[in-house]
């Protein structure tokens, strides 16, 4: 409870919760990662976010945003392999 109050006074706000970690930013722009209590299996901390402020999945999301799973017809596939 005390830590919650100090975080509130310090101006920390949560930007994201992912794989058992809370990603937080304060008013001056400093970033930190705090483990979530009573979370079963934690993943890895996204250190790229700590360093740059950009989550590692965002770059992949932008790269494959317009990707579709529509298949190519067999005839086109045969010509491509020949």
Q: What is the pLDDT of residue 5?
A: 66
Q: What is the pLDDT of residue 73?
A: 62
Token code pair at residue 59: 């770059």
Identify the CA nearest to 55 among candidates 45, 68, 41.
Answer: 45
- Which sign does the torsion angle of CA 23, 25, 30, 36 carry? negative
Q: What is the pLDDT of residue 36?
A: 87
What is the block-wise mean pLDDT of the chain (82 residues), using blocks of 10 residues?
A: 65 86 88 86 82 83 78 60 56
């Amino acid at each position: 409870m005390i830590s919650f109050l100090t975080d509130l006074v310090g101006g920390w706000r949560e930007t994201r919760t992912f794989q058992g970690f809370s990603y937080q930013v304060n008013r001056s722009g400093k970033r930190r990662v705090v483990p979530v209590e009573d979370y079963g299996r934690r993943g890895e901390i996204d250190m790229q976010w700590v360093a740059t402020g950009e989550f590692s999945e965002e770059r992949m999301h932008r790269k494959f945003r317009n990707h579709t799973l529509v298949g190519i017809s067999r005839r086109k596939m045969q010509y491509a392999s020949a």
